[in-house]
Amino acid sequence: MTDERPATRAPGARDAAPAPEPTGPPLSAPEQAEVPLFAPDSTGDAAGASPAAPERAAPDGDGVLVDRGTVRLALVVGGLVLAVLLGFGLGRLDPPTAAATALTSAEAGTDDHAHAPGTGAHEHAGGVGSGDVGSGASEVGGLAVSAGGWTLAPLSTGFAAGRPGELRFQVRDGRGRPVTRFAVVHDKPMHLIIVRRDLTGFQHLHPAMAADGTWSVPLTLPGPGVWRAYADFTLVTGDGGQSALTLGVDLAVPGGYAPRPLPPAARTDTVDGFTVSWSGEPKVGATRPLRFQVRAGDTTPELERYLGAYGHLVALREGDLGYLHVHPEAGPATDGISFQLTVPGPGRYRLYLDFQVAGVVRTAEFTLTVP
């Protein structure tokens, strides 16, 4: 009942990479992802138009003998202009990052999560990550169906308990147009988390997108009650910037709902013969490491990379089902799976750790109490 997660056979949503919409402005790249933060061309050209100084300096050497002073001057001027252009280009690096972190999510993913383990992935977490206790710590996602001008629009909401169905939805911009360009973060352009409001029945799915921006994924909600669906994604904005967002919507399943109490706080969980334990000291208002160890009896099974890391962690807050931001830390799986967790306030949280062994993804669950 709890754990049917077709996560392993989740469709490679990447295949569904759409053709760019006419709405999507300057980037001509047809793919949805891997958009570099510096899309230098757009502004580079615009800026290049103004400082025409070097062009003027060079040509008049044509028929006339130009003394070295003039040449040197031209070089200096050219260099200066170049420096200005470069500075301008670098300046351009900031806005997308700033925009991304300004939005609720910390997952200001650039193009990463595709790179090899051990490379300093996730440095983009910096905006909301460690050190930034004040602003970053208070952020949770998934509480709103619309935020920052972007709206999660479910297209199919009628689910019957235990009956296979399909969830379809779009992410729409401020004018109601479906978004079609998403960045790949943690190996996928869209992460869909499903959980019932009593924090049971966790599923982590990866929908596929049609060219018109409609995402779809097979979904069975096993029992009656109200279920929360979180769409966790990073969209690529018209100016080439990125916005990381987690939007959430409720899905109602008719029938008698008997909510289950949250299990007591624990540092160990057992799933399919794997014993998973975690260590760390989560603290309100701080970003702290959380480390998970997976054991199978007396042995340590070999963890496989899943979603660009050796594990994927989702943390939800009891009471409002706020979606916490968790950042995996690159590193060898032999040391366990490490994350940076930012706890926004006191309370109880449910942690869901996806890990993969021998091609099978399993989820260990823990209740975490933070005083």
Tell me which residues touch Cu ion (CB under 5 A).
191
Cβ closest to Cu ion, residue 27 vs residue 326: 326
Cβ closest to Cu ion, residue 13 vs residue 57: 13
Cα angle, residue 324 at apex, residues 319 and 328 outer, rounded to 5°: 150
Longest dimension (CA), the chain: 93
Q: Which residues pair with 276 in a beta bridge?
A: 269, 294
The three-state DSSP-derived secondary structure of 66-115 is CCHHHHHHHHHHHHHHHHHHHHHHHHHHHHHHHHHHHCCCCCCCCCCCCC
**Smallest distance, Cu ion to C-beta of residue 314, A:** 9
178 and 211 in contact (C-beta within 8 Å)?
no
32 and 181 in contact (C-beta within 8 Å)?
yes
Cβ closest to Cu ion, residue 113 vs residue 196: 113
Give the containing element (helix H, strand E) for 43. Answer: helix 40-49
Distance CA 166, CA 11 (A): 13
Cβ closest to Cu ion, residue 39 vs residue 192: 192
Cβ closest to Cu ion, residue 191 vs residue 196: 191
**Smallest distance, Cu ion to C-beta of residue 307, A:** 5
Distance CA 317, CA 315 (A): 7
Cβ closest to Cu ion, residue 24 vs residue 311: 311
Cβ closest to Cu ion, residue 24 vs residue 107: 107
**Smallest distance, Cu ion to C-beta of residue 15, A:** 16
**Smallest distance, Cu ion to C-beta of residue 205, A:** 7
**Smallest distance, Cu ion to C-beta of residue 327, A:** 14
Cβ closest to Cu ion, residue 57 vs residue 351: 351
Residue least distant from Cu ion (Cβ): 191
**Smallest distance, Cu ion to C-beta of residue 121, A:** 15
361 and 7 in contact (C-beta within 8 Å)?
yes
**Smallest distance, Cu ion to C-beta of residue 193, A:** 8
Distance CA 349, CA 323 (A): 10
Distance CA 2, CA 352 (A): 12
Q: Tell me the two tokens of residue 102.
A: 């300004």
Neighbours of 269 (CB within 10 A): 20
Q: Strand 268-271 vs strand 203-205: parallel, antiparallel, or unpaired?
A: unpaired
Cβ closest to Cu ion, residue 191 vs residue 350: 191
311 and 335 in contact (C-beta within 8 Å)?
no
**Smallest distance, Cu ion to C-beta of residue 206, A:** 5
CA distances from 82 to 48, 60, 89 (A): 9, 20, 10
353 and 364 in contact (C-beta within 8 Å)?
yes
Cβ closest to Cu ion, residue 92 vs residue 191: 191
Distance CA 211, CA 215 (A): 9
**Smallest distance, Cu ion to C-beta of residue 112, A:** 15
**Smallest distance, Cu ion to C-beta of residue 140, A:** 18
